[in-house]
Amino acid sequence: MNHVMLKKIFFITLLALACTSACFAAKKTHTFQIADGQFLYDGKPIQIHCGEMHYCRVPKPYWRQRMKMMKSMGLNAVATCIFWNYHNTAPGVWNFKTGNHDLAEYIRTAQEEGLFVILRPGPYVCAEWEFGGYPWWLQNNKDLVVRCNNKPFLDSCKVYVNKLAEQLKDLQVTHGGPIIMVQVENEFGSYMSQRTDIPREQHRQYYLAIKKMLRDAGFDVPLFTSDGSWEFKNGAIEGLLPTANGENDINNLKKCVDQYHHGGPYMVAEFYPGWLDHWGEPFIKVKADQTLTQLEKYLKNNINFSFYMICGGTNFGLTSGANYDGKHDIQPDITSYDYDAPISEAGWATPKYMALREVMKKYVNYPVPDVPAQIPIITLPEAKLKNSICLFDLKKSLKPFVNDTPLTFEQLGQGSGYVIYSKRFTNPVSGKMAVKGLRDYALVYVNGEKVGELDRMTKQYEMNVNIPSNGQLDILVENMGRINYGDEIPDNTKGIISNVKINDTEITGDWEMYKLPMDKMPETGNVSTAKNGLPAIYSASFNLSKVGDTFLDMRKWGKGIVFINGYNLGRYWKIGPQQTLYLPGCWLRKGMNKIVIFEQQNDNVPTVINTVKQPILDQLSNNQ
What are the residue numbers of the active site? 187, 270
Residue 7 has pLDDT above 70, yes or no: no
Any domain includes 26: no
> Residue 394: CA atoms inside 13 Å, Cβ hemisphere, count?
24
In percent, the amount of the chain with pLDDT more than 70 equals 96
Residue 578 has pLDDT above 70, yes or no: yes
Same domain, 308 and 442: no
Q: Residue 19 — very low, low, confident or very high, per pLDDT cuts 50/70/90?
A: very low
Strand 331-332 with 322-323, pairing? antiparallel
User: Which residue, 554, 532, 562, 561, is CA-closest to 611?
Assistant: 554
Any domain includes 170: yes
In this structure, what CATH number is given to the domain that contains residue 561?
2.60.120.260
Tell me which of 479, 509, 539 is where a domain ends. 509
Residue 512 has pLDDT above 60, yes or no: yes
In this structure, what CATH number is given to the domain that contains residue 335?
3.20.20.80
What tens digit of pLDDT does each residue of 445-481 get?
A: 999 999 999 999 999 999 999 999 999 999 999 999 9
> Residue 493: CA atoms inside 13 Å, Cβ hemisphere, count?
19
Residue 9 has pLDDT above 70, yes or no: no
Check residues 38 and 25 and name the one with the higher pLDDT: 38
Q: In a 3-state reduction of DSSP, which class is residue 191?
A: helix
Which residue segment(s) compose the domain that 287 sits in? 47-363
Amino acid, res. 477: V
Tell me which of 509, 537, 557 is where a domain ends. 509
Which residues, 6+ apart, have CB-to-CB distance to 213 below 8 Å? 154, 157, 158, 161, 162
Strand 567-573 with 44-46, pairing? unpaired
pLDDT at 622: 73
Residue 90 has pLDDT above 70, yes or no: yes
Same domain, 500 and 596: no
Residue 13 has pLDDT above 90, yes or no: no
CA distance 215 to 209: 10
Same domain, 166 and 188: yes
* Sign, Cα dihedral of 314, 316, 321, 325: positive
Number of structural domains the chain divides into: 3
pLDDT average, residue stretch 271-296: 98
Q: What share of the chain is helix, strand, coil (3-state, %, to 5)?
A: 25, 30, 45
Tell me which of 458, 480, 509 is where a domain ends. 509
Same domain, 312 and 234: yes
CA distance 439 to 516: 15
Any domain includes 11: no
Same domain, 541 and 442: no
What torsion do the CA atoms of 19, 24, 25, 31 make, to the nearest 10 degrees? Answer: 160
pLDDT at 606: 79
Same domain, 326 and 460: no
Residue 623 has pLDDT above 80, yes or no: no
In percent, the amount of the chain with pLDDT more than 90 equals 94
pTM of the model: 0.95
Amino acid, res. 479: N
pLDDT at 73: 98
Same domain, 460 and 591: no
CA distance 533 to 424: 21
Same domain, 297 and 435: no
CA distance 117 to 108: 10
Which residue(s) pair with 431 in the sheet? 465
Residue 17 has pLDDT above 70, yes or no: no
Mean pLDDT of the chain: 95
Same domain, 293 and 421: no
Any domain includes 621: no
What tens digit of pLDDT does each residue of 408-432 get?
A: 999 999 999 999 999 999 999 999 9
Same domain, 469 and 488: yes
Residue 18 has pLDDT above 70, yes or no: no
pLDDT at 130: 98
Same domain, 453 and 526: no
Please measure the distance between the N-terminal and C-terminal CA atoms of the chain and give it in whole angstroms: 84
Same domain, 249 and 182: yes
CA distance 347 to 375: 8
Any domain includes 29: no
Q: Residue 605 — very low, low, confident or very high, per pLDDT cuts 50/70/90?
A: confident
Alpha helices in 337-489 (DSSP H): 351-363, 391-395
Q: Residue 624 — very low, low, confident or very high, per pLDDT cuts 50/70/90?
A: low
Any domain includes 566: yes
Any domain includes 41: no
CA 225 to chain CA centroid, nearest Å = 21
Residue 548 has pLDDT above 80, yes or no: yes
Any domain includes 619: no
pLDDT average, residue stretch 5-24: 44
Residue 26 has pLDDT above 90, yes or no: no
Report CA Rg, the chain: 26
